[in-house]
Amino acid sequence: MQLTLDGDVVRADSRARERFYDSRGYGRVRDGDLDLAPVEAAHLCYRGDIDAVDGMDTRELLASGAVSAVDFLVYKDLRDRGFYLTPAREGWVDEPGGVDFVVYPRGQGPWDDAVAYRVRVVGERDDVPAAALGDCALAVVDEESELTYLDTNTRTVEGTSAADVPGVRGELLAERVLCWDPPAPLYRRAFYGQRLDEDAVQLSLVEAAYLAREGVLSVDGGEPSDAKRPSSARSADGGADAIAERGRDVEGDRFDRRLRVYAALRDAGVVPKTGFKFGADFRTYADVESVDDLGHSELLVRVLPADHAFEPRDLALDVRLAHGVRKTMVFALVDDGIEWVQVERLTP
Amino acid sequence: MQLTLDGDVVRADSRARERFYDSRGYGRVRDGDLDLAPVEAAHLCYRGDIDAVDGMDTRELLASGAVSAVDFLVYKDLRDRGFYLTPAREGWVDEPGGVDFVVYPRGQGPWDDAVAYRVRVVGERDDVPAAALGDCALAVVDEESELTYLDTNTRTVEGTSAADVPGVRGELLAERVLCWDPPAPLYRRAFYGQRLDEDAVQLSLVEAAYLAREGVLSVDGGEPSDAKRPSSARSADGGADAIAERGRDVEGDRFDRRLRVYAALRDAGVVPKTGFKFGADFRTYADVESVDDLGHSELLVRVLPADHAFEPRDLALDVRLAHGVRKTMVFALVDDGIEWVQVERLTP
């Protein structure tokens, strides 16, 4: 069987089309003949279905660089798992952007309409732009050629937590606000802060900045609100600026990003608490009625600028840890708005 | 009871010495009287044992900055856990350098010789120089004022893994070396690489660079050794330079650091494999006789330059993950030599 490499396409005849496309989903039909991507031809070589492409066997295709090793490893793995898949080239699949392979549900192929996974192939040392995440699966090939699949999806975050908190006064210390004799709902119902003891609650700077902006907290001579305020009635006072300035002093721009994400979570009915013990910005509780009945926190949230580029190893670390503590890893990507991207381990 | 703040020491009389030092281990005796650190005086105030220091109660001591909130929180927590402890000041304790509190075993105090923990207090946002780790416990106060204790100790790493590998040829691809029909011991006994299938083993660049330097592997026209070589007989040939150069191309200086740590582990009888799935550089097996009987890997190793400064959150993430997968987190700090520092969660 004659296969010739023509630029980045391997041309084959109608007999090859019958054997490889019609029955096993390799390549793309062109005028009754078959076009194969080099990675597909290398896989056919590897299986012994064809002997060579332009005189090159699998070994030579890889050694020459005509076929990338990471692409080949992922292609082979997905075939080994029983999937048919098509290289994501313009004209070969719908919406080829941002991914390398379109994978069909088991038992289906390029002649069907369904898609199981859109797969982006990544080497362990390749940066992954945050904008590339969502609606694709990453197939990460590590330095020892082992594969890790990560499913990435955009999502919303919402909950039913909502508690009015009466006005409270606090003292701004270096990196926290201390409230002596605060109203009980502050901690017990709304789950702000951490108790020093029965008589005092410590707020983080981000909690304090949010509460001051909401007109609930007053520090350093700002006026406390002495009535419940709906969360839409924002006050510029109460020390909100002083707290945010302190936050920027100790965290830089990161503080504003975290405050925006914190506020978005609270406004969506979700209670964010520190994720420090999990190496994240926040862990979240979707349905808090009382701290006596908290339940399990559902998400770990890491706040990042939208133009962040991930190292795959950092992604693997976050996702592995979240999985181990039965939470879901969510990245809050902050630009003009906030995009929430969930990343989970995937076994195709 | 009269207590006066004199610079950074609170002076108290002999009656205070009897009440607070003799029976409860606060402060340091000076000429029969008592010196207290402000954090100790603040704690006595907080407990109601004294009313004020120079007219200031706990709240005012904290608000004025006379006592740091993070120091106070850690001091209080350790007292709550039943420990006596002494601020690590010159002349107050032996070797005060690098730590904030010297903590005595439960039931003992400053009049005894034993030390349970040497504690360094760290705010979540403080950098921790790698050189500060080892022989101390970190008490990290996170933004919500919760405490995480991390025990840090220098250690050695050693094992019994040792297997001779006959000479092998490989092909250098972009970020890996592919060995077709390699000798069986390469993978099965010595646990180098990852099998593509029965007939091929893929080596990482760091594995390949080590094997080439050992004279076992030859790539790209380097001469393969066709006899077993003891690991002391180094060869500069076999493509070692080409592989290391490729490593530097894709990883920069990090490659040389990782190669040194890889070699130190192999030379110590420990098999390092990629730690990618755990977000680390290596996971290690101390006693490999055959890949058919591998057992559990014991350590996760992260390679860092010795002048690295940790963010406490990254430390918390690594240690939490390692604990979750029943491994021990070890940092390999690379300078002229390699220092191994183990970090584990601690519940005092």
Residues B108-119: tens digit of each pLDDT: 999 999 999 999
Of the partner residues A206, A274, A325, the one whose CB lies closest to the CB of residue B324: A325
What is the per-residue pLDDT across A1-13, written as a single tens digit (0 to 9) for each?
778 999 999 999 9
Q: What are phi and psi of B214, to 5 degrees?
A: -80, -5
Check whether A72 has a pLDDT greater than 70.
yes
pLDDT at residue number A220: 67
pLDDT at residue number B234: 36
pLDDT at residue number A225: 44
All structural domains of chain B: 4-123 (3.40.1350), 163-266 (3.40.1170.20)
Q: What mean pLDDT is predicted for residues B127-134?
A: 95
- Tell if the CB–CB gap between A175 and B314 is shorter than 8 Å: no
pLDDT at residue number B237: 59
Give the 3-state secondary structure of residue A323.
helix
Q: Residue B9 and residue B36: Cα distance in Å, rounded?
A: 6
By the 10 Å C-beta count (0-12 exposed, 13-18 middle, 19+ buried), A150 is classed as buried
Respond yes or no: is residue B273 known to be catalytic: no
Beta bridge partners of A140: A122, A148
User: Which residues does chain A have within 8 Å of residue B124's beta carbon, measured at their own beta carbons?
Assistant: 175, 276
Q: What mean pLDDT is predicted for residues B49-62?
A: 93
Question: At A198, is the pLDDT very low, low, confident or very high (cuts 50, 70, 90)?
Answer: confident
Taking a C-beta distance cutoff of 8 angstroms, is the pair A149, A139 a contact?
yes
pLDDT at residue number B227: 40
Which residues, including other chains, have CB under 8 Å from residue A345's CB and lie 6 or more apart? A148, A149, A150, A151, A319, A320, A323
Check whether B232 has a pLDDT greater than 70.
no
pLDDT at residue number A235: 41
The residue from A75, A84, A104, A285 that is catalytic is A285
Q: Over chain A, what is the mean pLDDT? A: 93
Give the 3-state secondary structure of residue B45.
helix
- Tell if the CB–CB gap between A251 and B125 is shorter than 8 Å: yes
Gyration radius (Cα) of chain B, Å: 27
User: Which residues does chain A have within 8 Å of residue B125's beta carbon, measured at their own beta carbons?
Assistant: 175, 250-251
Q: Residue A83 and residue A76: Cα distance in Å, rounded?
A: 10
User: Which residues does chain A have within 8 Å of residue B194's beta carbon, measured at their own beta carbons?
Assistant: 144-146
Taking a C-beta distance cutoff of 8 angstroms, is the pair B293, B264 a contact?
no
Q: What mean pLDDT is predicted for residues A224-236?
A: 40
Which residues, including other chains, have CB under 8 Å from residue B196's CB and lie 6 or more apart? A73, A145, B178, B202
User: Which residues does chain A have within 8 Å of residue B59's beta carbon, measured at their own beta carbons?
Assistant: 171, 178, 180
Check whether B236 has a pLDDT greater than 60.
no
Respond yes or no: is residue B296 known to be catalytic: yes
pLDDT at residue number B1: 72
Helix (H) or strand (E) holding B34: strand B33-36
Q: Residue B216 and residue A259: Cα distance in Å, rounded?
A: 56
C-alpha distance from B90 to closest chain A C-alpha (Å): 26
pLDDT at residue number A237: 59
Q: What mean pLDDT is predicted for residues A49-67?
A: 93
Respond yes or no: is residue B84 known to be catalytic: no
| Cα B18-B20-B23 angle, rounded to 5 deg | 70
The residue from B43, B149, B262, B327 that is catalytic is B327
Question: At B267, is the pLDDT very low, low, confident or very high (cuts 50, 70, 90)?
Answer: very high
Q: What percent of chain B has pLDDT over 70?
A: 95
Q: What sign has the CA pseudo-torsion B135, B141, B142, B147?
A: positive
Taking a C-beta distance cutoff of 8 angstroms, is the pair A79, A43 a contact?
yes
Please tell me which residue, B16 or A221, carries the higher pLDDT value. Answer: B16
**Strands annotated E in B225-324:** 271-274, 282-285, 299-305, 309-310
**Tokens describing residue A223:** 């006026």
pLDDT at residue number A2: 74
Check whether A223 has a pLDDT greater than 50.
no
Question: At B238, is the pLDDT very low, low, confident or very high (cuts 50, 70, 90)?
Answer: confident
User: Which residues does chain A have within 8 Å of residue B176's beta carbon, measured at their own beta carbons?
Assistant: 69, 143, 145
How many CB pairs below 8 A link A and B?
A: 157
- Tell if the CB–CB gap between A178 and B146 is shorter than 8 Å: no
- Tell if the CB–CB gap between A145 and B194 is shorter than 8 Å: yes
Find the DSSP H helices in A5-116.
14-16, 38-47, 58-63, 69-80
Check whether B235 has a pLDDT greater than 50.
no
Closest chain A residue to B203 measured between Cα atoms? Answer: A144
Of the partner residues B140, B144, B274, the one whose CB lies closest to the CB of residue A273: B144
Give the 3-state secondary structure of residue B68.
coil
Check whether B221 has a pLDDT greater than 50.
no
Taking a C-beta distance cutoff of 8 angstroms, is the pair B39, B92 a contact?
no
Of the partner residues A69, A193, A316, the one whose CB lies closest to the CB of residue B277: A316
pLDDT at residue number B163: 86
pLDDT at residue number B220: 67
Question: At A150, is the pLDDT very low, low, confident or very high (cuts 50, 70, 90)?
Answer: very high
Check whether B145 has a pLDDT greater than 80.
yes
pLDDT at residue number B244: 94
Beta strands B176-180 and A136-141: pairing type? unpaired
Q: Residue A56 and residue A332: Cα distance in Å, rounded?
A: 47
Q: What mean pLDDT is predicted for residues A207-221?
A: 90
**Strands annotated E in A92-191:** 101-103, 117-123, 128-129, 136-141, 147-155, 168-172, 176-180
pLDDT at residue number A273: 97
Closest chain B residue to A173 measured between Cα atoms? Answer: B63
